[in-house]
């Protein structure tokens, strides 16, 4: 892998992991449509260790941005209710991911469903324009809201459905405070991304024989881009412009559908 390829993949991961445009959906589109004859994406898929490392960079960005929130769960008082909500909301994605692993992986080779899913993501994002002002805080959201947000995250396992978009939008529509909905979404990202990393952690040993320069550059680039993307998303949520990403997802989704149907 060259430095250019590592940076390209790092930027894609860093931007699309947190912006509500679906990182998995973009990887499918890039590989199957735009870079089908390129070795960059396919090589990265074979080099699972590098992909795991990029996910660690994204996870590290969450830990940095939400460090005060995370520490607040543990000190000075253990907020068992919020932690229980996070655990409950994580269960649906874990069940779906394990039960339908093969079927989900099959979707990563089909751009048409991804295009349709991006349109759905755009519609979900647009729906937040109609979310009424809300003041329900995370610690008071209740188990029912947490479970529904968790189900939204489980649906987002499908490539093209944004995890952050689905969970934040669902929180808003359930009258959770906008900032709290975003914070809860990224608290959910910790066990979600962390769990996926643990399952493939043994692959990290493969990096020992790799050229470390592209690896280090890619990790650093992904961390920086992830931090920028995360901060940008939180700013847009605060300014009530979360729906702005719909005007990207819907046209891209339509373009992919038209492209695939015309082949």
User: Can you give the residue range of the structural domain that contains 65?
Assistant: 3-261
Q: What is the pLDDT of residue 148?
A: 96
Q: What is the pLDDT of residue 18?
A: 85
How distant, in Å, are the alpha carbons of 71, 132, 133, 137, 224 from that of 171?
22, 11, 12, 10, 27
DSSP 3-state of 35: coil
CB 165 within 8 A of CB 25: no
Pick from 32, 168, 148: which is nearest to 89 by CA? Answer: 148
Quick check: pTM over 0.75? yes
Alpha carbon distance 149, 188 (integer Å): 10
Residue 152 CA from chain centroid, whole number: 12
Eight-class DSSP state of 176: B
Pick out the chain residues at pLDDT < 70. 1, 31-48, 75-78, 199-211
Q: What is the pLDDT of residue 104?
A: 75
Pick from 234, 246, 104, 100: which is nearest to 178 by CA? Answer: 234
Residue 77 CA from chain centroid, whole number: 29
Alpha carbon distance 160, 116 (integer Å): 8
CB 200 within 8 A of CB 155: no
Please, what is the Cα angle at 206 between 15 and 203, to 5 degrees? 65
Alpha carbon distance 216, 106 (integer Å): 31
State how many domains the chain has.
1
DSSP 3-state of 136: strand
Q: What is the pLDDT of residue 47?
A: 55
Q: What is the pLDDT of residue 42?
A: 46
């Amino acid at each position: 892998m060259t430095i250019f390829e590592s940076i390209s993949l790092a930027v894609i991961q860093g931007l699309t992991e947190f912006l509500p445009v679906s990182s998995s959906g973009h990887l499918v589109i890039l590989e199957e449509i735009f870079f089908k004859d390129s070795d960059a994406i396919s090589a990265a898929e074979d080099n699972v260790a590098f992909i795991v490392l990029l996910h660690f960079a994204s996870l590290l960005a969450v830990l940095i941005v939400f460090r005060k929130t995370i520490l607040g769960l543990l000190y000075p008082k253990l907020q068992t209710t919020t932690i229980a909500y996070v655990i409950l909301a994580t269960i649906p994605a874990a069940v779906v991911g394990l039960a339908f692993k093969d079927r989900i992986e099959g979707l990563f080779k089909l751009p048409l469903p991804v295009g349709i899913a991006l349109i759905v993501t755009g519609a979900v994002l647009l729906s937040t324009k109609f979310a009424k002002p809300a003041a329900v805080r995370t610690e008071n959201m209740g188990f029912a809201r947490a479970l529904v947000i968790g189900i939204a995250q489980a649906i987002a396992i499908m490539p093209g459905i944004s995890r952050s978009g689905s969970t934040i939008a669902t929180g808003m529509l359930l009258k959770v405070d906008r900032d709290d909905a975003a914070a809860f979404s990224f608290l959910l990202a910790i066990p979600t991304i962390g769990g996926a990393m643990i399952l493939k952690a043994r692959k990290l040993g493969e990096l020992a024989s790799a050229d470390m320069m592209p690896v280090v550059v890619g990790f650093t680039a992904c961390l920086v881009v992830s931090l920028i993307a995360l901060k940008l998303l939180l700013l847009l949520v605060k300014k009530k412009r979360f729906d702005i990403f719909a005007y990207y997802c819907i046209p891209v989704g339509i373009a992919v559908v038209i492209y695939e149907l015309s082949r």
